[in-house]
């Protein structure tokens, strides 16, 4: 299952980098906690709203894509969080 982490992390990073005004400030890290893969997104403070979107629509779509990718490759539970 360790092979899946870079794929999902890379997917999230590619999506987030294309959304923000300061792509050089994007940092996506992943760790495993309680059997789940936790993907943390760090962006510049001005770009946080762009990643979250109105009423959370963008981050919800990112979570959906990450979970769909995980279910396709092995079914591991995925958590995607935006860190301030």
pTM for this entry: 0.87
Which pLDDT score, from 0 to 100, does residue 84 have? 79
- Tens-level pLDDT at each residue, the chain (84 residues): 455 444 899 999 999 999 999 999 999 999 999 989 999 999 999 999 999 999 999 999 999 999 998 887 777 899 999 997
| Per-residue pLDDT at 72 | 78
Set out the domains of the chain in order of their start, with CATH numbers: 4-83 (3.30.300.20)
The pLDDT of residue 3: 52
| Packing angle, helices 4-19 and 57-73, rounded to 10 | 160
| Beta carbons within 8 Å of 10's beta carbon, 6+ residues apart | none
């Amino acid at each position: 299952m360790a092979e899946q982490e870079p794929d999902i992390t890379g997917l999230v990073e590619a999506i987030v980098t294309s959304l923000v005004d300061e792509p050089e400030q994007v940092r996506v890290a992943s760790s495993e906690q309680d059997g789940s893969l936790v993907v943390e997104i760090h962006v510049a403070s001005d770009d946080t709203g762009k990643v979250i979107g109105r009423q959370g629509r963008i981050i919800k779509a990112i979570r959906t894509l990450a979970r769909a990718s995980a279910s396709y490759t092995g079914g591991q539970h995925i958590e995607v969080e935006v860190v301030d």
